[in-house]
Every structure is written in structure tokens, then in C-alpha cells.
A and B are shown apart, each in its own frame.
Chain A
Amino acid sequence: MAAVLESLLREEVSVAAAVRWIARSAQSSEDDPGEVAALSSLRPLRKEFVPFLLNFLREQSSRVLPQGPPTPAKAPGSSAALPGRPGGPPRGGRGARSQLFPPTESSSAAAAEAPSARGGRRRGPGPGRERGGRGPGGLEEGVGGESQPWAGGRRPRGSGSPGSPSLARCDPPNLSNLEEFPPVGSVPPGPAGTKPSRRINPTPVSEERSLSKPKTCFTSPPINCVPSSQPSVLDTSPWGHGLPPGCRSLQEEREMLRKERSKQLQQSPTPTCPTSESGSPLPSRTGNLTAEPADPARVSSRQRLELIALIYSSCIAENLVPNLFLELFFVLQLLTARRMVTTKDSDLEPTPGAPDSLESPLFQSVHDCVFFAVQVLEHQFQVLSYLDKGTLKLLAENERLLCFSPALQGRLRAAYEGSVAKVSLAMPPSAQAVSFQPETDNRANFSSDRAFHTFKKQRDVFFEVLREWEDRHEEPGWDFEKGLGSRIRAMMGQLSAACSHSHFVRLFQKQLLQMCQSPGGPGGTVLGEAPDVLSMLGADKLGRLRRLQERLVAPQSSGGPCPPPTFPGCQGFFRDFILSASSFQFNQHLMDSLSLKIRELNSLALPQPEPSDEDGESDVDWQGERRQFAMVLLSLRLLAKFLGFVAFLPYRGPEPPPTRELQDSILALRSQVPPALDVRALLQQGLRARRAVLTVPWLVEFLSLADHIVPLLDYYRSVFTVLLHLHRSLVLSKESEGEMCFLNKLLLLAVLGWLFQIPTVPEDLFFLEEGQLDALEVDTVASDHGLDGMPVVDQHLLYTCCPYIGELRKLLASWVSGSSGRSGGFVRKITPTTTTTGLGAQPPRATQGLQAQLAQAFFHNQPPSLRRTVEFVAERIGSNCVKHIKATLVADLVRQAESLLQEQLLTQGQDGGDPAQLLEILCSQLCPHGAQALTRGREFCQKKSPGAIRALLPEETPAAVLSSAENIAVGLATEKACAWLSANITALIRREVKAAVSRTLRAQGPEAAARGERRGCSRACEHHAPLPSHLISEIKDVLSLAVGPRDPEEGVSPDHLEQLLGQLGQTLQCRQFLCPPAEQHLAKCSVDLASLLVADHIPVLGPPAPRGLERGQARRLLHVLLSLWKDDFQVPVPLQLLLSPRNVGLLADTRPREWDLLLFLLRELVEKGLMGRTEIEACLGSLRDAQWPKDFSEELATLFHLFLAEPHMPEPQLRACELVQTNRGTVVAQS
């Protein structure tokens, strides 16, 4: 590999040819025969070139990048993910930042480089640490790079053996990158059995480190080179053996070179420690790691750097690197390198102009790094120009960049000023609950009452758990499982019926989408949710404060440029819920539901291209189209992530299978399990329809949660192969007809690049699959105008989907904050946000008859908003039509059914016969009327659609267009409505009539009859009458006074009694606040009151001491009561209680007994028709059965005779016999 690079450096091979050579296996006619010859001998190494190059750069830079966030890289061949290496270092659980990358290993290869200074330092961390502390070491370090830019590793490398103290001292301490500073090319050429050990160096603590801005001070680990770490398994390639030794591996080459040089060096030893420690002073007071100024004049070997930058950039441009943004991150790290951690011998100054071998350090100073970085950035300007405004500003303001390439700075500045998009943080999720929808949530949707009520409770428990999580999940020490686990499982345990599971899953999924869809704005309509009323009210500005707060508390880092898949924010709740629920049924239902929703959204018809002439309108419309696309895309990603999570949950573990045998048996098992969702078919479909920009991002989310085995399964391997092919094909510089839009490509490159860095995706996958790529050609010509060709992705969406791109900005920002003396930026201008879009043509649709074709054609030349409007109106009017028919025609039929039923009941007696039979009779009479529905439906659509279209289309729409649109809308609406009605009207009528029948039959029951007709209060009533509750309470007080016990001074004034009865009259006449139970109690209390009056038991207040009422007063009050009973009460008054033994017994206590009031009352009752004579007789008769004192019995008998002596009025409607039987106070309706 090194040979290739060397031949490039020697200019034997042109860069273009080399890149062609790397990118394609076949030779191209453009290639120079000489170059071909030079490269053909190296052919077997072709695929190893890129990893080699990347590793080479990382390695070379490792001395420069001790600080700053890491540039992770996944090396192919780091065998941790592969079986067969029992000694391989364990990989931790998912989620940990460091586990993205192959753990560093010390191996025989590393041992082979032991003579190098770095090797020595690594092995001897002790001295390094000491020097890393605050003290002279720091100074010396600060100076070294500047004063002796050529202080390469030559001499110390040659000068010592491993562990030599002089070496350790020579190599200034690398303060912070120890842990992430991996050994060079960990792959041993020797036997695979060498036990690798993870080098763990304690992180040195120094003031510099602790105070430097980026707290995560890591550097870029190199990419390991060849996947030959497992020769027995993977090294089956034909070139794995029998190659010239020099080509065998980088390590061997390097080792040989080193040996040579160390021999030279040992002959001329120099002082091990640099003497130039007194150089420029460090601003150590601030504790900041001040950057060394970079000077273009001091770049060491321009030509070589330019060449490598060109090769590197070409590899990036051709997508030969796994992750575009990772490389950009790396380049920016080089740009912002603060100082060289360097050895400071000045021997072996390279001859300028003669690019020497690779062994001479590529970056000999910060100047070199910056030069290289700027070179690469120049090549990558196009990508840079699409970055967010903040990043562009930081780049354009970077003084190093200005210094090294004013031209690039100028372009960046122009790009910044031209940049219109701004990237804002996502809106805080709204914790609104999923609303109750009667159509899907009411009793009719459940198998039983029990299931319905269980679900009711579950909904509440779910939200209770959610609220508790919201309140507490940030508390230290709070644990989801401990806090909520048992409650969740108890709730899941109640979901017995399958139907309940689907209800719950629907709720769960809706809530998930509602809470976790990150971007804000009233875009929720895509998913059928009503737009937030808050934003309609304009109250959203009130939420700004909250958003600002959100922004302030938001974590500053998303975890490096390649964070592992995580469940941020509310997503964590849903993940933990699934885990805690640990319910197989729930997971299955959830997968079904997620899959369905994914399919549905994935195939959703999304924006059609717009004719490009109407730019003003299209602009407005495109905002909506983009927003809709973004909503769908983000929903899909969320759903797919959870689908991936649940689908691979049973297989996921922190580590891959330990042995090859085990892996094989797992593979055999897994390969027969059908995938949860046929993502391959969807991917192919998406590519064919040129909707990769929609399909791939969610597919990546899905795959990112796969377990270690998944990429090895044939099915998924083929998916990865397609993705790799796609990745390779997304060359950003290609801009031709039918190409994907730039930002679309960038999004795909970003997500794919991220996927290739996921721990579970084998490191070698990216570089190994190449062979198969050639064979695979995805047919994308089928459709020229899919989503891919439309500018559906904007910067906001790119950053929302790939927040890790923001790491670039953070890196640059940390440079700014770290570098001192900076004034404000150069730009203060705020550019209003607008978007301009390119437009394509419209895809032809499947033909559906001539009219459909015509309609299609009509829409073709109209703005898509017109089509959407028409479709929308048709959809709504059609649906409203059905509702209208339900409310009018069906409701009429139901009324007819009710009256028919009433007749039936009258003719056939109360029970009316068998309800099922009744229903059949009614339906056979009524269902034929359903035919009217179609006519009426047509009328409705005809009447309603044109108005809606007119209201929704612009005023200026030409008349012909308008009337066509109206006609199409009428047609579509009618079609929709009639299709539904003709299929369902009979069933609908049946259902409604059935409900009416059971309602009527229920209402026929005895209680209903007693309810009777109720009068309301009069029209003029102003509802000022006393409240019933107040009256009951007042009467109760009187009763309690009368019954006692009472204090001597307590009593009731006659006026108060009269007033009370007056109020009772008013209340009974108003009725506004009266409910039947209250009226019943009032009736009963009034009877009790009457009995107390009759028995003279009301203690009257006033001088002298309490006494009974005047006889006349009592009579007056009884009169009032009688008239209330007769005229005002609308409930039955239990008048027979007047003659109950208890009330009559009150008389027994009074002496002398006064019977005249009772007799008066009885006569009045009969007179007013309140009670029948026979009824009273029956009551009196039964009174005689009770146990009374003898004298009382006699008086009672006298009363009986007196009453009987009255003239008799016939009352045939009263069934005396019944009254006699039920002596327990039958409530008799007032006649």
C-alpha cells in the first residue's frame, strides 16, 4: 500500500489515474498505459488503499491532535466484531461513546515498532505523565513545535529501545490523547493467536487539560489497515498470500524502513531532550492551551502535502471513504490543531521538492497540518458551502484559513452571506396526550364492556406513568424500572384480549409520534393530527421563552461526529417502557403497527414538482411541501428506529458471538426467520421510484439498531450491499439531468456514513463489499422524476436528521473560544429566510380511463396546490356527505322505526314480541329507502363542492380552470361518497335501527313509564327561585327541630314556615335547577312536614315559650301544601305516608289528641283528587292492624267511621286491591 502512495508521491502515477484505479476495478481507457502498468502489479491491494490512506493520515496527525473531540474511525479488520478471536478485547454495551471504535490493541506489530519514540512513550506512561503536569514540561512542549518544526521522530526513534527513559523524555508528553491514542496498525502479520491487550493509560491530569475548552480531549485513532487480523477466516482473498514482502502489509514495510533508519540514527545520537525550552512563553495563567500560530511560509513539504491532499480529497469526492463528515471533522481538527506534540531534533531535514518516502512524517508542524487541511477544504468547498450559517461563519472567520488561502476564505464568506437557511434547534416536544376519538375509542370498538373499561384504566395508567417519568427521570438515582416497571407490567397484564393490545399499541404509537417528532411548526397535520390550537391563537410566541430555556439546558454535544444510536429525550421513555413491559404480545402488536405505519408513510404521495415559471407561488407552496416531506421523513425515522429496536431486541447483546461455530449456528437459525419488515423490497422499490431520499434515512435508523449478526445474514447483507452501492454512487460533484439534488445526496451520505460507523456493523463491511458492488446495478431509470430529483431536503432537515454534523461547528467554536484576542466576527447581517427551489416535471400516473387521463392532464399544467385542493375538497365533501346522509336520511328512518315500533308495541301489548323478529320486520320495511342515499349524496356533493373549491383557490384562477376543478371535485366527491354509501348504507340503517329498537324497548320498562312528561319552567322565568338544595336543607332543619332533640330556645316561627312553603312553590315552578331526585326528596319532606303539622309537633318560636301552632295557621299551611302537591310537584308525592303508622303514631303522643286536622287533610286530599277514597280507606284499614294503645285505637276507629260517612266518589282507575297488598307505601302517581 505504501508503495502506491510512494509511487504517487514520486509522480509515477497521476492522482486521477490512482483514484480511478481505486474506485473501479476495471481499467479505463483514459488510463495511461504506464500508469496502468505501475498500478497493475499492485492490483490485489486496490481495496486496501483507502483504509491505508485514512490510517496513514490519522497516524501522521496523531501528534498534532491531542485535544479536541475525537475523529473516530472504524478500521476494517479490527476483529472485535468478528468471531474466532477469543482473545479479542471485549466490546462494551451499546451506547458508550468509545465503543464505536475498535479498541486499541497492542500486538506484535506494535511491538515491532517498539523502537519508535512513540512506541516507547506509550509503553512508559509514567514519565510522560510527570511531564504532562504543570511545570517545565509544559513549557518545553509549547516551545518545541514552534522553534523546531522539523523535530520529527527520527532521532528518538532510532535512538533507543523500548522503555528507554531518554526516549520517554524526548517525546513530550501527550497530555490527553493517551487513552484514545491507539497503537499503529494493530494487525499483526504473525499468528492470529497473539493475545492483544488493550492499552490503558491513565488519563493524565494537568491544568492545561482540565481547563482547556473541550473537555473531551481525544484524538483520532488510526484506521486499522487490513482485515487480515483473522487470516484463517477472512484472508481468503487471492492476494492474501504470495505477495512480495513489501506489499504484504504496511507494518512490515514500515518496520523495515524504521530498522534502516534507526541504524542511521544510532550512529549520530543527539541530546535526547530539546534545549529550546525557553521559546515563546505560554500564557499559562489563563490555563488555556494557546494555539501556535500557523504560517504558510513555514510549511515543510508543500508538494507532498498537496499531492496527498489531492488524493485524499479525490477519495472523499468519490465516496471511497466511509463517512464524509468524519473526514471533514478530521480535516477541521487539523485546521484547528493547537500545537505540535513533537520531538525536536532537526536532523534529517527533508530535501525540498523531493517527496520522500512515507516514513518521513507527513505533518512536521502545525503549519503542515493547517496547510494540508486548507488544501482539502478547498477541494471540499462545495460541501462546505452547504453547511449551516454558523459553521460557515466560523470557517470564514478562521484566521488560519484566511492566512493560508484568502481565496477560500473569500468564497466561504460569500457562501456565508448567501446562505439563507438557518439551523434552529428542534422545538421542545409537546407533552399533549393523544386525544380520545369516539370513532376508534368508544365501546363499539371493544369486544366487551370489560375490555372497554380495562382499556380506559390503561390509558390513565399509561399517562400517569408518563407524567411521573417526565417529573422524575432527571432526578439523580431515579430508575425507570424500579420506579415504574411493576406498574407497567401490571397494566400490560390486564391486556388480555388481542383487541385491547391493538388499542393500546395505537395509543402508544400515536403518543410516540406526538412527543418525539422533533421539529416544531404546525406540520403535524401530515399524520392526521389537528393543528395545535395554540399556534393558531398566536400564543406560540409565549412558548419562545420555553424554547429558549430548552436551548440553554440542551446538552452541548451530541457525542462526537459518530454518536451511537441513542434514544434522546422522550424517546427514552418509550424505549424503557418497551423494556419494562417485556411483553411478547405488546412487542408483536407494536411491530405490526409500526410496520404498517412505515409502509403507509413510505408510500405516501409526496410533493409533485412544480412548473418553474410561477416562482412566487411555488415558493410558498414549496415551504409546505418541504415541511410535509420533513414531517413524513422524521416520522418514518422514528417509527423505523423503534421497529428496529423491537425487532432486534431478542437478539441484541453487548458482544458478538465468541466463536465462529457459534456464529455459524446462529446464522443458520436466523437466516430462516423472515424479516420484521421487508426492507430490502422497500429499499429496491424506493431506489426504483427514485425515492431513496425518503426510504434510506429511515432504513438506516432501522439498521442502526440491528444486532451483530444481522449484517452477516444474507438478506441484510444484500441490503447493505445495495446501500454501499448507493453510497458510492452519490458523487456530490456530479450535477446532471436526473441527478439527485445536492442536499438530498448530502443527507444520504451523512446517514449512510453514520451507519457504517455503528458498532454492530462490521468494520470491514465498507471496504470488503466492493467486489460485489460491480455485479449489482440498481435500475433507477424506471422513473426519472422521483423525490430524489426534487429539493426536498433543506439544511434544517439535514441537521435535524444528522445532529452530529453540528460537531463541525462545535469544533470550530472551541477553537475560537480557545484562541485569545478575537474580536467579533465580520458579519452581523441578518438575512431573511427564503427558499428557492428548482422544479421538475410531473410523473405520469397509472391510467384510469379517458376522463381520468384528462383530469390528470388538466392537473399536469396546473400548480400542484390546485390538485391538492381538489383532492382535499373531494375527500372532505365525500366524507361529509356520508355524515350528512347519516344525520338526515338515516336519522329519519330511525325515527320511522321508532314510531313503527311504538305501534307494534301498542297492538301486540307491552312486550312486543321477540326483539330480533321486530328488528327484521322493521329493517325489511326501512332498508329499501336506503336507495335514496345515492341520489341525495349526489345532490349534496353537487351542491357543496364548488363553493369549497372557489373558496380555496386563488381569486385569480381563470374561470375555465375553476369550473374544471369544481367539476372534478364534484366527480371525485360523488364517487367517494357513493362508493361508500352503496356498500354500507343497508348495514348502517340496520345498525342504527337496531340501536333504536333496543333503546325503545329499554325505555318501555316500568321506570320509564313513571318518568312521565315533564314540564319546564315558563318562558318568562328568570330562574331566581331558591335552589332546591337550599330548600331541602331548610326543611330538613325544620324536621330535625320538630323531631328533636332541641334546645329550649330553639323553634320555628310560623312566618318562616309560610315563607319556606312559598319558596318551595317558586322552586317547583321554576324547575331550572330541579332534578328528579331533589324533587322526590322535597315531596317526601313536604309530606313529613304535613304529618308534623297535623300532629302539632312543630315547635313554634316566640314569646312566650315554645308552643304549638295556632290551629288556623296549621290549616293555612296544610292548604298551601295541598295546592303544591296538586299543582306543582311533577314527581309522585308519597301521600300515603300521611297515613303510615309512624306518622299517624305522632298523634298518639299529643294530648289532647286533635283529630280534626287529619280529617281535614283527608277530606281535602279526596276533594283535590290527590288520593282516592278507596285508597285512603285501604290505608286506614291497614292502620288498624298496627299495635296501638287501646284509647288510640278507639279514636282511630272513630276517625275511620267519620271519614266513611262522607259521600262516596267513584274512582275506577284506582286498583284498591293492589294498594292493600302493598302496604309499604306504594308510590301512586298523581292522577
Chain B
Amino acid sequence: MILTKVQYDEIAQCLVSVPPTRQSLRKLKQRFPSQSQATLLSIFSQEYQKHIKRTHAKHHTSEAIESYYQRYLNGVGRNGAAPVLLELANEVDYAPSLMARIILERFLQEHEETPPSKSVINSMLRDPSQIPDGVLANQVYQCIVNDCCYGPLVDCIKHAIGHEHEVLLRDMLLEKNLSFLDEDQLRAKGYDKTPDFILQVPVVMLCPLAVEGHIIHWIESKASFGDECSHHAYLHDQFWSYWNRFGPGLVIYWYGFIQELDCNRERGILLKACFPTDIVTLCHSVPCP
């Protein structure tokens, strides 16, 4: 699952302007049968998010919003049961859930006296039954269940995946008899930055072909694919901060990463796609080569 930059670019190339639907995912899996589905989905999701970040602004001009809303109104006016909103999103190359949000916001502006708060909108997106307009509620729901990159359901899946991998990692640490402090314990102690796990006694991870082992003080679990963009953001917001406080550590990208990004090993940030197997703990001596 560790891809070279070239392999990664090849996949990313196929994802340009692909809508985030079931069907797109199915095609992607057929195109790259050797890659794991989770890795593909993660890459797809990240690439799509990058695309959305780039184009976000143009969908949020007042002209754009107005034009989308009119098209929506016209569409449901003709046939309320047709997937108007979903098709609109795909047509303008925008995420269905985000399109649903735009239209919902616009709708509420028109029908409520006070502009809707963010929490109200979020709550309606989570549970479209709360949307006062039945047709819109169905349209929004359709967008959300059909969007595989954005929306409350996707957010929940991502959160669940992250949590599951933390649990997996915790089990592995317990199994290896490595004592640790987890995020909650660290937070309770008042740590300002909290990796998933800090090892109470550091370990050395041996790497094949390398002379030296790597000291590990902390482990961060990332249930995603480590691409350049997300890795750099994580480095800046998390990994270096951990290094600054706790010394060298390990990042596990469970869905793989771009090989070339693993360039801070000497500095003290190590990347892996699974739990390391060659671990030397303090009580054992370093095996002689």
C-alpha cells in the first residue's frame, strides 16, 4: 500500500473531475484491481476534497447560489421526485452534500425570518426530516446518501474508521506489552498536544536494510492515505508538534502513503503502513547484526 509518487500520480490522474458517487468508485476499483479498496477510496476522497477546496469559492458567489437555487426550483417544479439536486451538483461538478447545503441555506433564508445558524443547518442535514419542506428534505437526503466524499454520513464513517484503528493500535500495544498513555490520559494531565499514544518507555524500531534503529516515543494513527497535501498539513499541525515535545515518533498511515514522504526518518518522524514488527524494547538487548 506504500505507493511511489509515480504510482500515486497515475491513480490521481484518473480521478480528475469524477463525481463522488457509488458508480465512480466501482469504476475506480475496476481500473486498479491490485490496490486495496480502502486505499483507493481514501485517495479518491482526498483528491476530491482537494478539487473541492480549489473550486469552493466559485460555487459560493451570490450569483452562483442564486442560479443554483433557481435551477433547483425549476427542476422540482417540473418533477419533485426526480433527483434534481443531485443532478445539479454533478452537472456543476460540486459535491452533492455541499450543494444540498447551499440550497438549504438559501431556502431557509427565504422562508425564515432570521438567517439560519450553522448548527440548525447541520442538524437538518443530519436529519432531513427536520427540513420544513418535504420535497427539499427528500432532495437533501438523496444528495447525502449518494455522496461518498462529503456529508454527515461520510463524516461519521471517517470518524468511525479513525476510532477503529486507534482501538486496533491500542490492542497491538497491549499485546506487545508496551505501556502507554492515550490521548485522554494526556489531556487529563494537561498536555497541550496529544498524539494518540505516548509510550511510557520508548522503543526502537528496526528497519530492514538500515544500520540504525529508530527511537519511538509516540505513535499517531492515521486511518487515511498519506498524500503530500495531508501529510504536510499533519506535519505542521501535529507531527512536528509532537516531536517538539516528546522527541521522535511513529506515524501509521493504515491506508498507505507516498513513499517519498518518508524522508524525515533521521529527524525523528517515521512513517509506516502497519504496526511495526521489528521492535526492540528497553529490557531486551539490541541484537547484534
Contacts and interface: CB of A to CB of B under 8 A. Distances in A.
A, B from the same assembly: yes
B202 interface: yes
A1142 B138 contact: yes
Contacts of B126: 1084
B81 interface: yes
Contact of A463 (B130, B138, B156, B240): B240
Given A533-B202, A537-B204, A1045-B86, A1033 B134 contact: no
Interface string B175-192: 000000000000001111
A84 to B, nearest CB: 53
Interface string A1001-1035: 00000000000000000000001000111001100
A1020 B213 CA distance: 38
Interface in A551-597: none
B285 interface: yes
Interface in A449-497: 452-453, 455-456, 459-460, 462-464, 467
Point out which of A443, A444, A459, A1040 has the most chain B C-beta atoms below 10 A from its C-beta.
Answer: A1040
B5 interface: no
Most-contacted residue by chain A among B81, B192, B247, B285 (CB, 10 A): B192
A459 B242 CA distance: 11
Interface string B252-289: 00000000000000010000000000001010011000
Interface string B54-85: 00000000000000000000000000010100
B240 A432 contact: no
A542 interface: yes
B212 A533 contact: no
B134 A1142 contact: yes
A463 B202 CA distance: 21
B160 interface: yes
Interface in A390-439: 432-433, 435-436, 438
A1044 interface: yes
B159 A1077 contact: yes
A1043 B96 CA distance: 14
A438 B163 contact: no
A111 interface: no
B97 interface: no
A515 interface: no
Contacts of A460: 240-241, 244
A1044 B159 contact: no
Contacts of A1073: 160, 163-164, 167-168
B174 interface: no
A459 B146 contact: no
Given A443-B190, A1077-B156, A1140 B145 contact: no
B100 to A, nearest CB: 13
B282 A435 contact: no
Contact of A442 (B192, B202, B243, B267): B192
A42 B247 CA distance: 69
A1028 B286 contact: no
Contact of B157 (A537, A1023, A1036, A1044): A1036
Interface in A243-285: none
Contact of B286 (A435, A537, A1081): A537
Contacts of A453: 192
A452 B192 CA distance: 8
Name, among B81, B157, B246, B286, the residue most crowded by chain A CB atoms within 10 Å (CB to CB). B157
A1023 B141 CA distance: 33
Contacts of A1045: 83, 86, 146
Given A1134-B127, A1142-B141, A1225-B129, A539 B212 contact: yes
A1141 B129 contact: yes
Interface string A524-547: 000000000110111100100100
B13 to A, nearest CB: 26
A550 to B, nearest CB: 14
A1072 B189 CA distance: 25
A1045 B213 CA distance: 54
A204 B213 CA distance: 54
Interface in A496-543: 533-534, 536-539, 542
A1073 B251 CA distance: 20
A1043 B134 CA distance: 14
A912 interface: no
B145 A539 contact: no
Contact of A464 (B131, B153, B240): B240
Contact of A432 (B142, B168, B193, B247): B247
A442 B189 contact: yes
Contact of B159 (A442, A1039, A1078): A1078
B137 interface: yes
Given A467-B240, A1047-B23, A441 B192 contact: yes
A1142 B130 CA distance: 9
Contacts of A444: 190
A533 B190 contact: no
A1145 B138 CA distance: 10
Contact of A1142 (B128, B163, B164): B128
A1084 B127 contact: yes
Contacts of B164: 1027-1029, 1073
B160 A1077 contact: yes
Interface string A1071-1103: 011010110010011000000000000000000
B161 to A, nearest CB: 4
A643 interface: no
A1186 interface: yes
Contacts of A828: none
Contacts of A435: 245-247
B156 A1081 contact: yes
B137 A539 contact: no
Nearest to B142: A1043
A161 interface: no
A438 B215 contact: no
A1037 B192 CA distance: 39
B153 A1081 contact: yes
A433 B246 CA distance: 7
Given A433-B243, A436-B192, A1145-B134, A1225 B127 contact: yes
B160 A1029 contact: yes
Contacts of B204: 537, 539
Contact of B245 (A459, A464, A1078): A459
Given A442-B189, A1032-B157, A1075-B160, A1044 B83 contact: yes
B233 to A, nearest CB: 14
Contacts of A443: 190, 192
A428 B142 CA distance: 62
A1226 B76 CA distance: 29
A1224 interface: yes
Given A442-B190, A1040-B146, A1045-B86, A1075 B129 contact: no
Given A456-B193, A539-B212, A542-B212, 7 more contacts: A441-B190, A443-B190, A452-B192, A1028-B160, A1072-B167, A1075-B159, A1075-B163
11 contacts: A441-B192, A462-B244, A463-B243, A533-B215, A539-B212, A1028-B160, A1039-B145, A1078-B163, A1084-B127, A1140-B129, A1142-B131
